[in-house]
A and B are shown apart, each in its own frame.
Chain A
Amino acid sequence: MPRVVITGVGVISPIGLTRDAFWRSLVAGTCGIHAIHSPDFDQIRFKHAADIEGFVPEDHLAAKDISLMDRFAQFAVVAAKEAMAQSGLELTPAMREEGAVVTGSCIGGRSAEEIGYRELYIHNRNRVHPLTIPLGMANAGASHISMQFGIQGPSYTISTACASSAHSIGQAFHMVRSGSAPFALAGGSEAPLYFGNLKAWEAMRVISKDTCRPFSADRSGLVLGEGGAMLVLEPLEAALARGAKPIAEIVGFGMSADACHITQPSAEGPARAMRMALRDAGLAPEQIGYINAHGTATEVNDRTETAAIRLVFGAHADKLAISSTKSMHAHTLGAAGAIEAAASALSLANGILPPTVNYTTPDPACDLDVIPNAARTQQVEACLSNSFAFGGLNAVLALRNFA
């Protein structure tokens, strides 16, 4: 089977509107979470989120396209353009015909529907905007990316809550490895900071009142964020033949379902996904030096994820470094897997492991090396990127340093 490398990374996030800005923030330990002052947040019991300040669609997208895209689709296209530009990939007609676009999103453009519902139910109007359907559909990101680059091969969207874009990248990886697509653009995006969705998360009672402190004993829940990330995946041989510089190699992908509870995770399900990713990669557990954890900072996730890592790695768990970059970019739901896969790839390429910021107090139930508060200069051979969804659907990517 051909080896698959990442040759382009695009990121738009609360801690940087570009890949390089995002990476600088991860290394500096910059937290993008803050109190948001808006009429919507005035009616919500929590005030903190990680929004993308300073995003001007006109800076990135053609005027004629902007009104056709909800914010989440704009993020997808912006990240895809940055990833394609970095890859330097020039698409031949044959590549356009068979190339793949796989995106992940948990809620898609549902904020466009909310605008329509406000018109109907509050303003007593009898009609909604004619673009409500094309703006709202979760596959809008994949569709707009395919149109932007003329990519005509397998293109679709996966929605597995907080694992959406990890599943997307994993599927795209398998397509490129099997030869069914000559390259793929894969990742995801999310724009969840709208009133109805904020209210829905408020009702779940899992949102922190101040900030995101993964694995810290005083953690108080997750914080919502928005953003997107896309990766260009291609066979190693093709990348080298055209003189591209691989950023990292994707070597394995593992999936599992907890099959137990719609919101409570198990340790066994995530553990099986990690084992499957290692098996798919042909890696021994001891070859993993870093895990970009799901690390939401809910009481139950962090405890369960720690237990899952111990199940898989045994004594080696104490030699691993893990961190939750959600402490900086917050939980971007369907975009999280892609943003964290991007962070993982950049960590391998730069020989620096990003920290878990906002960490104050060790928790005996989360007793792993979580790289508290400061990035660490350390070149690891390989890493995992964990994504675990509500509904018990788990996706784990394995990446290897390409030196």
Chain B
Amino acid sequence: MSDSIQDRVLKIIASTRRIPLESVRPDSTFEELGVDSLDRLNILFDLESEFDIEIDDEEAKKVQNIPEMIAGITHLVEAKAKATPES
């Protein structure tokens, strides 16, 4: 797995919005990227598949920007690694 969690999150945002990867930066706002509520649902769905995690509705609602999204995913991925020691 060569890509960092950050790279993988940015790729998912780009592919969901069907925009060039170069246009998605960690400091981009969801508004700049044109991410609406339905895009958020699609992004959450793709993130769950990409990282094999489950994202809680309430936690997801708190996410305001891409760094918070990356931090949330990192937290869930680490929690999953702890729960399954063999990986």
Q: Known contacts A264-B38, A300-B37; can you find 10 more A-B pairs with CB under 8 A?
A: A204-B41, A205-B41, A205-B44, A205-B57, A209-B57, A261-B36, A262-B38, A263-B38, A264-B36, A264-B37
| A-B contacts at CB below 8 angstroms, number | 19
Residues of chain A within 8 A of B60, CB atoms compared: 205
B residues 14-63 near A (Cβ < 8 Å) are 36-38, 41, 44-45, 57-58, 60
Complex: A204 Cα to B41 Cα, angstroms: 7
Complex: A262 Cα to B38 Cα, angstroms: 9
Given A203-B45, A204-B41, A205-B44, do A45 and B57 touch, yes or no (CB 8 Å)?
A: yes
Tally of A interface residues using CB under 8 Å: 10
19 A/B residue pairs, CB under 8 Å, sorted by A: A45-B57, A203-B41, A203-B45, A204-B41, A205-B41, A205-B44, A205-B57, A205-B60, A209-B57, A209-B58, A261-B36, A261-B38, A262-B38, A263-B37, A263-B38, A264-B36, A264-B37, A264-B38, A300-B37
Tally of B interface residues using CB under 8 Å: 9
Q: Identify the 4 closest CB pairs spanning chains A and B, nearest first.
A: A205-B57, A263-B38, A264-B37, A205-B41
Q: Is the interface of B mostly helix, strand, loop or mixed?
A: helix
Residue ranges of A at the interface with B (Cβ–Cβ < 8 Å): 45, 203-205, 209, 261-264, 300
Complex: A270 Cα to B33 Cα, angstroms: 28
**Residue from B45, B57, B58 whose CB has the most chain A CB atoms within 10 Å:** B57
Residues of chain A within 8 A of B38, CB atoms compared: 261-264
Complex: A45 Cα to B37 Cα, angstroms: 20
Nearest-Cβ distance from residue A217 to partner chain B, whole angstroms:
15
Bitwise, B57-87 to A at CB < 8 A (1) or not (0) is 1101000000000000000000000000000
Complex: A333 Cα to B36 Cα, angstroms: 24
Residues of chain A within 8 A of B45, CB atoms compared: 203
